[in-house]
Amino acid sequence: MATRDTVTMPRPAGRVSSGLLYSLRLAVTAQAAALLVAASFAGQAVESEPMIEAHLLAGMAVHLVALVQIVLAVLVWRPGRGAGWPALASVALFLVGGLQHVTWLCARGAPAGRGDPVRV
């Protein structure tokens, strides 16, 4: 009786793990949802002082999700041999969000490095 040897074939180049892609898609969806919530709170913060706190918390969630998205995008790109543009776009979104946060703090009169803005 002949025995059958099983050989595991390596993943072909250019094929990204479906789990990694699914995780990146979830992170992108979470980023979009967090941006919508933060924008909504920003509009409400214009009219109501207590909503500034909610907007700041939503902004922190946006930054946290952006960091997770960067890590996943780099994992898809480098070890996964996927496209590199999602990693670059994720870094750009993180930097733009950080720049917006810094300009808001400067406009509110908070010194750099201090977390809570000065209310006028």
Q: How far apart are CA 120 and CA 80, in angstroms?
A: 50
**Nearest-angstrom CA–CA distance, 48 and 115:** 20
Tell me how far the alpha carbon of residue 36 is from its chain's centroid: 13
Top-confidence residue, 65 or 100 = 65
38-42, 63-67, 68-72, 86-90: least confidently modelled range:
38-42
Question: What is the tens place of the pLDDT at every residue in 91-120?
Answer: 999 999 888 878 877 877 655 555 555 554
Q: 113 vs 49, 99, 109, 116, 117, CA distance in Å?
A: 22, 14, 12, 9, 10
Say if residues 97 and 63 touch (Cβ distance below 8 Å). Answer: yes
Q: What is the pLDDT of residue 101?
A: 78
Whether the pTM exceeds 0.95: the reply is no
42-54 confidence digits (pLDDT tens): 888 888 888 888 8
Instruction: Give the whole-angstrom CA distance, residue 48 versus residue 9.
Output: 60
